[in-house]
Amino acid sequence: QLEETQPNDAVVRARNKELAHKYAKEAMAKVAATMDLNTLHTKGDGAPGDFMTALECYLKAVHKGHANAMVNVGDLFLEGQGVSKSSSVATGWYLKSAYQGNTNAQRKVEALRV
């Protein structure tokens, strides 16, 4: 009688982590090259699934203090791309960027106040 062997949880988690790291690294390189979803769409690379990947990459840049990434996160929420549409959440991201002196974010905050 042959005993079935199944990978243990630690092996599965390690493999999933490795795959996730590889995927994130590839996605980061792709998004970092443009940091603009409109450019991705223009090039034909911006399928709806890319919005979640973009959000993940933008959030990594946000944690490093990049004000433009904060604007990009706000844009995703404003348009409801890959996330629930929310102008109040978008405004919050724009304000974070505006406080760092990002004039684009300041304009977006003003436009949303009208």
The per-residue pLDDT for range 48-74, each reduced to its tens digit, is 567 777 788 888 888 888 888 899 899
Mean pLDDT of 72-90: 89
Handedness of CA 23, 70, 65, 44 (dihedral sign): positive
Rounded CA gap, 7 and 35, in Å?
Answer: 39
**Per-residue model confidence (pLDDT) at position 106:** 95
Judged against a pLDDT cut of 60, whether residue 12 lies above it is answered with yes
Tokens at 14, concatenated: 């390690």
- The whole-chain average pLDDT of the chain stands at 77
User: 37: buried, middle or exposed (CB in 10 Å: 19+, 13-18, 0-12)?
Assistant: buried
Residue 81 pLDDT grade (very low, low, confident, very high; cuts 50, 70, 90): confident
Rounded CA gap, 60 and 110, in Å?
Answer: 26
**Per-residue model confidence (pLDDT) at position 113:** 87
Rounded CA gap, 84 and 72, in Å?
Answer: 15
Name the most confidently modeled range: 36-40, 56-60, 82-86, 109-113.
109-113
Residue 90 pLDDT grade (very low, low, confident, very high; cuts 50, 70, 90): very high
